[in-house]
Structure 1
Amino acid sequence: MGLENFRDELAATACALAAAGKGLLAADESTGTVGKRFAAIGVENSEEHRRAYRSLLATAPGLEEHISGVILYEETLFQDSVDADGQPGPPILALFQERGIVPGIKVDQGVEPLPGGLPGESWCTGLKGLQERAARYYARGARFAKWRAVLKISPEGAPSELCVRENAWGLARYARTVQEEGLVPIVEPEILMDGDHDIETTAAVQEWVLRTVYQALAHNGVFLEGTLLKPSMTLPGMDCSTPPSPDLVAEFTLRTLERTVPVSVPAILFLSGGLSEEEASVYLNGINRAISPAPWHLGFSYGRALQQSCLKHWAGHDLAAGQQALLARARANGQAAQGFYVAGSEPSDGSPLFEANYSY
């Protein structure tokens, strides 16, 4: 149909996802990544268990009070649910839709080494056939999409000019392509936390990356009012000797965004990027406390930082305990998205979630 036919719908979807006090549940882990999560709790990585776990997410009571959208993996988008007694139910997608939670879909096909780049640099694949896949996902009921580009900071000089430009262009081509089929693109240029660099270094690199991304989006005629940005918070490397305070993270993150992100973008939904559940909430809270009103909705799009406790309490069989843990972190982040989360007021697993060179 083309972008012009979807402009009003794209803007409306983006605004729905940018609802005050809400964010996204990123449940788009690949089958392999879910297997790692299940292995940690002693659960077999079978379709039956994946269906049961994603049904748990879709039926958590009151989830819609804090979650505006859910990012799904392709298997889940086309999968039917199962109830607490193991009986088949409606499509998992429909369970989210019934509660006003907008379903979305991960459309990138993972990262590969970047030819000509520095060691460890990557580019994101999945543009071939994307328009046809996007049309199929829209027909199924998805209304937004996600594409994750990955950049790293290293002593060898990464990210290189080639890496920044290649990933920015890939994000822009993806964004324009899915908008043509009615899906709001989440633009995700993640800067990994690996390394011992300071927060000033991260800020300089992130400004460069975001400027380049928005230049590429402009070149491709992307409709910004129908997009969302999913960036890393501006943080030092995980091995930096001095952990940052929430106030410092807020200062550098907001400065970076104010210098680079157009106000026509409805929402900035931060990724957790290896932060613990509690850290992800506390830093988000600090960012929202530091600016009011902000030119964008400052929310969250968390995967591990919403699901770690949930997985451990579920452990393959305890539906109620898993849902209770999920709702606790959803409440925490809903409050943090408004700047009034009290640290430690909601239960948390507390364990670190950082994984070097994280991929899924």
Structure 2
Amino acid sequence: MTTYFNYPSKELQEELSRLARAIVAPGKGILAADESVSTMGKRLQDIGVENTDEHRRLYRQLLFSTDPKVAENISGVILFHETLYQKADDGTPFVELLKKRGIIPGIKVDKGVVPLFGSEDECTTQGLDDLAARCAQYKKDGCDFAKWRCVLKIGKNTPSYQSILENANVLARYASICQS
């Protein structure tokens, strides 16, 4: 039986390598600004601000339009879907604002955790079903990397072999799809 492998083109390999080196550049890190609407609601509530589209946009604008020197220490920003399509007061899309500062926009692509059947209260992550189409669109819309979250429960009997295997497979599929 012959096995065929899908290898990325030389151009794609070079792009992925360039992005990886830029993201992990010495002295730099990734800003996680991918809070969901509900998480943003908690943050805004803590400061007495109503959770509206406009207040979330203004909060993110504050993060992305601060002193340009922030780019000396931030290589990339993980965005939430809503944020990807928001704009600054002057009409500049946040993605453009970040790119002008030399910051690489990324996007959260998982769709949350769900219970892992047959486990001791463990979970796996959903969102692989339409990931290829979403990644292609996010790339067109300016994102150059993606974030996916898996959770392993640490305890006396966890993580289970089932959970490790399931989450490793999910992460491998995510990586393969995102790089294609």
TM superposition shift of 1:89 = 2.5
1:3 equivalenced with 2:4 (yes/no) = no
SS of the aligned residue for 2:151 comes to strand
The CA deviation string for residues 3-60 of structure 1, in whole angstroms up to 9 with x for no partner, is 3251110100111111111101000111111111111111111000010011111111
Within 5 A, what are the aligned runs for 1:1-360? 3-4=8-9, 5-61=11-67, 62-82=69-89, 88-119=90-121, 121-155=122-156, 157-180=157-180
Query: What is the root-mean-square deviation of aligned Cα atoms in Å?
Result: 1.4
Q: Any gaps of 5 or more consecutive residues in structure 1?
A: 83-87, 181-360
Q: Could you state the TM-score of these two structures normalised by the residue count of structure 2? A: 0.92
The CA deviation string for residues 145-168 of structure 1, in whole angstroms up to 9 with x for no partner, is 00000011123x111110111011
C-alpha separation in 1, matches of 2:20 and 2:66: 24
C-alpha separation in 1, matches of 2:134 and 2:17: 21
SS of the aligned residue for 2:110 comes to coil
Identical amino acids, percent of aligned pairs? 51
The CA deviation string for residues 181-207 of structure 1, in whole angstroms up to 9 with x for no partner, is xxxxxxxxxxxxxxxxxxxxxxxxxxx
- Code of the aligned partner of 2:13: R
Q: Could you state the TM-score of these two structures normalised by the residue count of structure 1? A: 0.47
Q: Any gaps of 5 or more consecutive residues in structure 2?
A: 1-6
C-alpha separation in 2, matches of 1:74 and 1:65: 25
SS of the aligned residue for 1:178 comes to helix
C-alpha separation in 1, matches of 2:151 and 2:42: 20
- Code of the aligned partner of 1:116: G
C-alpha separation in 2, matches of 1:144 and 1:92: 16
C-alpha separation in 2, matches of 1:46 and 1:21: 35
- Runs of 4+ in structure 1 over 4 Å off: none
C-alpha separation in 2, matches of 1:169 and 1:39: 38
C-alpha separation in 2, matches of 1:77 and 1:30: 12
